[in-house]
Amino acid sequence: MELRLLGTGDAFGSGGRLQTCFHLSGGGGDILLDCGASALIALKRAGLDPNDIGWVLLTHLHGDHFGGLPFFILDAQFNHRSQPLVVAGPPGVAARLEAAMEALYPGSARKPRAFEIIFQEILPEVPVEVGPARVTPFPVAHPSGAPAYALRVEYGGKVIAYSGDTEWTEALVEAAHGADLFLCECCFWEPKARYHLDYQTLREKRPLLDCRRLLLTHLGKEMHQHLKEIEFEVAQEGERISF
Ligand SMILES: [Zn+2]
Ligand SMILES: [Zn+2]
């Protein structure tokens, strides 16, 4: 199975990086893990056909994590998608996506289309099958108008954990426990604002994270200014990781 890190930036293009978008393949069907506003650009740069993606799995409902869906759906419509698209995310995901579509392209949400969109609400600490993956959502601290999750994704015989956006919470210890790879957001260099992680806190908490490999993602401006000092592995945009 393969994980492609298509978008590893924050919401604001820091370091010229794209917004969050990870692609899982080779485990029985292609899954997109978060779909930031730039996701379609990321997919097309990587030479991936969005119509091959069967499931979009969302950590939380912020624009840099789900704002790519209106474009994804319109593109699918124009490119004759026929297979259903499953959108799995926190409670309220259908209404939030409809509102986003109507704000950006009025009339687009209710327009008849040749493929079905199936919404799957995922609930805190309830493991659930999302297509070929088994997903466990852990509630984290990141207000976004709906519950925000760290996700533990069992896929292709491996465990990928992803923090989503959050300040430090013990939920990350649980989500990352025994994971083959833990993608962890690291927005700031030092504690700066609530609801996001910073490098100093992560360094302090690192011994608690029982994962085989840790990769920092969602790097903000200050993180880019300190790149040479970072002692952890940093996600590289476009990186392909095979398991
Ligand atoms: Zn967020
Ligand atoms: Zn974010």
What's the 62 CA to ligand 2 centre distance in angstroms? 7
Of the ligands numbered here, which is closest to the C-alpha atom of 144?
1
Of the ligands numbered here, which is closest to the C-alpha atom of 14?
2
How far CA 178 is from CA of 7, 21, 50, 100, 184, in Å, comes to 24, 23, 31, 36, 15
What's the pLDDT tens digit per position in 50-69?
999 999 999 999 999 999 99
What's the pLDDT tens digit per position in 77-99?
999 999 999 999 999 999 999 99
What's the 196 CA to ligand 2 centre distance in angstroms? 9
Confidence of residue 206 (pLDDT cuts 50, 70, 90): very high
What's the 112 CA to ligand 2 centre distance in angstroms? 31
pLDDT at 31: 98
pLDDT at 85: 98
pLDDT at 153: 98
Long-range contacts of range 113-116, CB-CB < 8 Å, 24 or more positions apart?
113/73, 113/76, 113/77, 114/77, 114/80, 114/81, 114/82, 115/76, 115/77, 115/81, 115/82, 115/83, 115/84, 115/85, 116/84, 116/85
Q: Write down the mean pLDDT value for the chain.
A: 98
Q: What is the mean pLDDT of residues 8-19?
A: 98
What's the 20 CA to ligand 2 centre distance in angstroms? 7
What's the 12 CA to ligand 1 centre distance in angstroms? 12
What's the 49 CA to ligand 1 centre distance in angstroms? 26
